[in-house]
Amino acid sequence: MDTEQIRDFLTVARYKNFSKAAEALYIGQPALSRRISGLERQLGVQLFLRSNKAVELTRAGEILQREGQHIIEQLEQLEVKMQAAGQGAQGSIRVTTMGRLSDRVSQTIRRTIAALPDCDVEMEVLVPGEQGDGLEPLDTDVAFLVGSYPSDDTGQKHVVPLEDAPFSFLLPAGHPLAGRKEICPEDLRGERLLLLKVSRVPVQIQGLLQAVSRTGPCQPVFRKNLASIVLDVEMGKGIGFLPAFEAEGRCQSSSGLVYRPAAGLPVGAGVFLTWGEERQDPATDRFIRTFLKLWGTAETG
């Protein structure tokens, strides 16, 4: 039994009519009938119950329809993989992301990986603070990073802005400011502000400290990681200031926390898809093109 015989059989099974199946296959009905009869003799079973009004599958025909369709699909997938391999579009891809991204970005990354089953995608998750000074090159093929919008040439690095990355305040549900819809710099007079310590202070934190200093004193406290900030907030030791999607994620896992948007501050940062010219190969190019295609169709929430 070869693939041509299987395709002939599946076509008859789909139309349940030899004349229509023959038209779809661009052959004469007598020739198709002979092919199916030859297949039945070869297998030693009857595949169709024929009558003047209809063509129905036998039990053996139902099995062959199910398994034959699977075989054809597998062969088609194999053909695609072989073509991709011939073009060098298969292989391993290293993808780096921040610890937590928005649902839209995360879902599009998952859809991209699912659309490339022939590529081995190795994911690496950076803990915020490990990213370094924004969008500098990393030892990876593709990266999804949070940083300040670049104002100059990025050299050999490609940078595609995906979405803004506004900051929010994380605070205990019982805090007096938890009742506000948003929090302004003047609301933070005398508050203990919990900030992430990184090698270069992000523009959002710089803007916050400058804005608060104009309205009154506050106490900025820098922590080495987000976990320490969240723990201090849960214990009522201050108000955290972190990316909105991080704050939202923390609140989803703790009923004692709430987050409120920061008002009166420039966004100044975004989520970026980045890759280096020297690391771009056919497999990486497929990942990038697939992601950007899916990103254009992803729901914006």
Q: Are 120 and 286 in contact (CB under 8 A)?
A: no
Query: Residue 50 has which token pair?
Result: 């024929």
- Pick the residue with more confidence: 99 or 141? 141
**Res 154: pLDDT:** 47
Q: Tell me which H or E stretch contains 172.
A: strand 167-172
Going by pLDDT thresholds of 50, 70 and 90, the confidence category of residue 286 is: confident
Query: Residue 127 has which token pair?
Result: 């803990």
Q: Express each pLDDT in 63-120 by its tens digit.
A: 999 999 889 888 877 776 676 666 555 678 889 887 677 788 888 999 998 888 878 8
User: In 177-268, at which residue ranges do the beta strands (DSSP E only) sit?
Assistant: 192-196, 219-223, 239-243, 257-261
d(CA 280, CA 285): 6
0.75 surpassed by pTM: no
Considering 33-37, 215-219, 221-225, 297-301, the range whose residues carry the highest mean pLDDT is 33-37
Output phi, psi for 204, to 5 deg.
Answer: -65, -45
Going by pLDDT thresholds of 50, 70 and 90, the confidence category of residue 34 is: very high
**Res 156: pLDDT:** 47
d(CA 210, CA 203): 10
Q: SS3 for 173? A: coil
Task: Indicate whether 288 pLDDT > 70.
Answer: yes
d(CA 241, CA 133): 18
d(CA 130, CA 139): 13
Q: What is the mean pLDDT of the chain?
A: 82
In this structure, the number of other CB atoms found within 10 A of the CB of residue 301 comes to 6
Please give the average per-residue pLDDT across 198-213, as a whole number: 75
User: Mind listing the domains of the chain with CATH numbers?
Assistant: 3-86 (1.10.10.10), 91-164+269-297 (3.40.190.10), 167-261 (3.40.190.10)
Query: Residue 51 has which token pair?
Result: 């009558």
**If you ran DSSP here, which 8-state letter would residue 236 be given?**
T
**Res 232: pLDDT:** 92
**Res 54: pLDDT:** 79
Among 135, 91, 145, 103, smallest CA distance to 287 is for 91
Q: SS3 for 157? A: strand
